[in-house]
Structures are given as structure tokens and as C-alpha cells.
């Protein structure tokens, strides 16, 4: 199975900050990397697919990059509604493993 490791596990930031979350795969997954946002009590919501493609309806302040084993999710200017938990997921192979999550909190 492919293991996905996110860092950091938690992050405190302020509105307007630029934030970067990283995700590393245990083997190459090409660009089969997705990012999801989850708010408490809600289902996950797709933000980025194929490492860098923005899902329809997602604000352009979200962006993704990377290929192979190393990937990043960047939020260019944090908004109050962005405080949530973020997960990466590989879709290169089954099982479709997720990272452990990064909780983004208000500083």
C-alpha cells in the first residue's frame, strides 16, 4: 500500500496569511494526488485533483503543485472560512490512501 504523510499535522495562522501544506507519498504516484477540505461535522470537499487542477467552484486562492512523491497545497491569503482540516489522497492505486490530515487553526 502507498503511505501518504502530511506535514505539519496542525498549523496556526492568521487571516490573510499564505499557508503551505505538504504531502509525501511513499512511492511515485505521478500526478494522482487530490486535496480535500473538511469542516467539523461535514463531509470532505474536493479542492484540487490531479495535483494541480482546481475543482469547479473552489476559490482561486487554493492551488496545488508537485508530482512524483512530493506535493503541496497552498492557500494564498487565508480567509475565515478556510480554517478546517485538509487531507491529501493518492488515487494512483487501490487502496486510495489518505494522509493523516492537517488541522488549520486561527492564530
Chain contacts with other proteins (rule: CB under 8 A): 30-32, 34, 36, 38, 42-46, 49-51, 53, 55, 87, 89, 91, 94-101
| Residue 65 C-beta: closest distance to other proteins, Å | 14
- The smaller minimum CB distance to other proteins, of residues 21 and 34, is found at 34
By C-beta, is 77 or 93 nearer to other proteins? 93
Cβ distance to other proteins smaller for residue 75 or 99: 99
Interatomic CA distance for residues 104 and 107, integer angstroms: 9
Q: How far is the CB of 14 from other proteins (least distance, A)?
A: 25
Amino acid at each position: 500500500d502507498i503511505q501518504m504523510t502530511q506535514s505539519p499535522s496542525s498549523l496556526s495562522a492568521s487571516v490573510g496569511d499564505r499557508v503551505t501544506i505538504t504531502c509525501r507519498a511513499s512511492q511515485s504516484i505521478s500526478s494522482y494526488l487530490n486535496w480535500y477540505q473538511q469542516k467539523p461535522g461535514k463531509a470532505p470537499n474536493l479542492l484540487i485533483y490531479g495535483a494541480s487542477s482546481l475543482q469547479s467552484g473552489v476559490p482561486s486562492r487554493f492551488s496545488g503543485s508537485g508530482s512524483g512523491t512530493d506535493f503541496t497545497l497552498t492557500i494564498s491569503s487565508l480567509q475565515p472560512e478556510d480554517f478546517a482540516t485538509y487531507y491529501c489522497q493518492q488515487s494512483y492505486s487501490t487502496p486510495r490512501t489518505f494522509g493523516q490530515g492537517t488541522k488549520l487553526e486561527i492564530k
